[in-house]
Chain A
Amino acid sequence: MSTLGLIRMGDNTLVLGQRVSEWCGHAPALEEDIALANTALDLIGQTQLWLGLAAEREGAARTADTLAYHRDAWDFRNLLLVEQPNRDFGVTMMRQFLFDAWHLEALTALSAHEDAEVAAIAQKSAKEVTYHRERSSDTVIALGDGTEESHARMQAALDRLWPYAGEMFSTDEDDLTDMSILRPAFDVYLETVLTEAKLTRPDSDFAHMGGKTGARHTEHLGHMLATMQVLPRSYPNATW
């Protein structure tokens, strides 16, 4: 099995975990702050499992930390969606919702993977992500069907992020499972939530590609990594 599939899963949770943790201390309400920090914590925990297994399998004396802190943007294999900046709370929660809706489908499929270690990580993660999806769905509904202002912001968030949704279902032989077959279930769930949230799915399914293949990340990833990696890169042997 190629380790690239494991790295893709781990890079998604790492990059989104870092993005979400940027809210720590800045969220609009204390409960939201705690919820976002807990979500970030789950994602970073899942990263340790995915990248830990990737490092072990490649057998090149790297660890989850080496992979996280000592690779540059062009070596990352995360989806473009998760590296998009937080912007306002609406964009953050819409990004989370789109990711969670895909993530839970992917983890459910991977829970039956023939590789027992992959299946174990997926089963563990799926329990946590079930809570993530519940919360991001509830928030999208509350804000989409909220005030005129919150509705407008959620629709704008969906319009902005939609071109990054399609990449989640692009697939190749390096993926741990065929991601394209997850689309129908995703679409059904999306429709249910968007209807309740009074939001309109954009007409065009045009999708930006290049994150999971590493061909072309957006300009945002490098800036994020600079912040995330500065300490281990400046002090390579630093320990707690």
Chain B
Amino acid sequence: MTRPSVEEVWTWLSAVPDPEIPVISLVDLGIIRDVQWIDDTLEVTVTPTYSGCPATSIINMEIEQALWAKGIKNPSLKRQIAPPWTTDWMTDTGKAKLEQYGIAPPQPAGGPKRCPHCQSTRVEKISQFGSTPCKAQWRCIDCLEPFDYFKCI
């Protein structure tokens, strides 16, 4: 088989959904740090979002499965923790998809810009922690809907 290019592999990976927030891909999330061929082995470098995130092992499994499905026999997954993952690595497409899904995307100011449901800017924090390590719980003061905010780290 001809060896697929690194660009092609990136395209495949951008179709692999995040297991917890399936509207965004692993590439959108910014956790795929590198793809390279080392002789005949395809090495994919992945960084965890939070060190204890239980989705990490599922994510690795999904990357392997996606590559197997494309005929890559022995992909090698490398864990890299430095530099630590930051929400700055999330793509703009990813941020837009998050908001559409009802999760306020990360903001450098430390809180959501607006309610993802009614776009009101009058929002308040319920808790720094939410349903997954990467999210906090907020509430809209106008439409009263609670919503997840993707924490900026």
Residue of B nearest to A120 (CB): B82
A contact residues around B50 at 8 Å (CB)? 41-42, 45, 128
- Whole-angstrom distance between the Cβ of A134 and the nearest chain B Cβ: 6
Q: Are B51 and A48 interface neighbours, CB within 8 A?
A: yes
Docked CA distance A134–B85 (Å): 20
Contact indicator B84/A46 (Cβ below 8 Å) = no
Q: Which of A96-148 contact B (CB under 8 A)?
A: 116, 119-121, 123-125, 127-128, 131, 134-135, 138
Within 8 A of A (CB), among B54-112: 54, 81-85
CB closest residue in chain B, given A42: B52
In the complex, which residue of chain A has the Cβ closest to the Cβ of B135? A38
Q: How many residue pairs between the two chains, A and B, have CB atoms under 8 Å in the bound complex?
A: 70
| B118 CB within 8 Å of chain A | no
How far apart are B38's CB and chain A's nearest CB, in angstroms?
21
B: contact size bracket? 20 to 34
Chain A residues within an 8 Å CB radius of B51: 42, 45-46, 48-49, 124-125, 128
B131 contacts partner chain A, Cβ-Cβ < 8 Å: yes
Mask: chain B, 43-55; 1 = CB below 8 Å from A; 0 = not: 0000010111110
Q: Are B84 and A119 in contact (CB under 8 A)?
A: no
A35 touches B128 (CB 8 A): yes
Chain B residues near A134: list those with CB within 8 A: 128
Asked whether any CB of chain B lies closer than 8 Å to the CB of A181, the reply is no
Docked pose: A13 CA to B129 CA in angstroms: 19
Size range of the interface on A?
A: 20 to 34
A34→B82 contact, CB < 8 A: no
**How far, in whole Å, are A116 and B54 apart by their CA atoms in the complex?**
25
The reply to whether the CB of A173 lies closer than 8 angstroms to some CB of chain B is no
Complex Cα spacing A48 to B54, Å: 12
Q: List, in ascending order, chain B residues with CB within 8 A of A209's CB.
A: none
Query: Which residue of the partner chain, among A41, A116, A135, A138, contacts B82 with CB atoms under 8 Å?
Result: A116
Q: How far is the CA of A120 from the CA of B137 in the complex (A)?
A: 29
List chain B residues, Cβ under 8 A from A79.
none
Complex Cα gap A134–B128 (Å): 9
A44 touches B130 (CB 8 A): no
Q: Which of A45, A121, A123 contacts B53 (CB 8 A)?
A: A45
Q: Does A149 contact B (CB under 8 A)?
A: no
Residues of A within 8 A of B153 (CB): 127-128, 131
Checking B52, B82, B84, B129 against A35 with a beta-carbon cut-off of 8 angstroms, the contacting residue is B129
What are the nearest 7 A-B pairs in CB distance? A45-B52, A45-B51, A120-B82, A35-B129, A41-B52, A31-B127, A124-B84
Known interface pairs A31-B126, A127-B153, A128-B51; 9 further A-B residue pairs with C-beta atoms within 8 A, sorted by A's residue number: A34-B127, A35-B128, A38-B133, A41-B133, A44-B52, A46-B52, A49-B81, A131-B128, A138-B128
Residues of A within 8 A of B (CB): 31-32, 34-35, 38-39, 41-46, 48-49, 116, 119-121, 123-125, 127-128, 131, 134-135, 138
B residues near A, CB below 8 A? 48, 50-54, 81-85, 126-133, 137, 151, 153
20 of the cross-chain contacts (CB-CB < 8 Å) are: A31-B137, A34-B131, A39-B129, A41-B50, A41-B53, A42-B50, A42-B133, A43-B52, A44-B52, A45-B48, A46-B51, A48-B51, A48-B52, A119-B82, A123-B82, A123-B83, A124-B51, A131-B151, A135-B127, A138-B128
